[in-house]
Amino acid sequence: MAEVESKQLLHLVFGGELKNLTTTEFRDLETLDIVGIFPNYAAAHQAWKAKAQMTVDNAHMRYFIVHMHRLLDPERPEKSGH
């Protein structure tokens, strides 16, 4: 059986300290933590979770997953929930 190559669905993980807990406005854009770009949601989620757990003591620190593949190909319909 031939190996099936999976399509890259790029995801960016980044975070920073928020100005307040009710918005997603960052306190200082110069200090944003760019964790990395990952080939799929599962890998991005794993990186997000690790960073979120490392900063659990700072209530203003938040990490996010950006679905880059949706930005790169907005016309392509989503097949999964990620």
What's the pLDDT tens digit per position in 29-47?
A: 999 999 999 999 999 999 9
CATH number at residue 27: 3.30.70.2400
Mention every residue, 6+ apart, whose C-beta is less than 8 A from residue 11.
37, 38, 39, 40, 41, 43, 44, 65, 66, 67, 68, 69
Number of domains in the chain: 1
What's the pLDDT tens digit per position in 17-26?
A: 999 999 999 9
Q: Is residue 79 included in any domain, yes or no?
A: no
Q: Is residue 17 included in any domain, yes or no?
A: yes
Q: How far apart are the first and last CA of the chain?
A: 28
Record the pTM: 0.80
Q: Is residue 80 included in any domain, yes or no?
A: no
Q: Is residue 78 included in any domain, yes or no?
A: no
Range of the domain at 23: 11-72
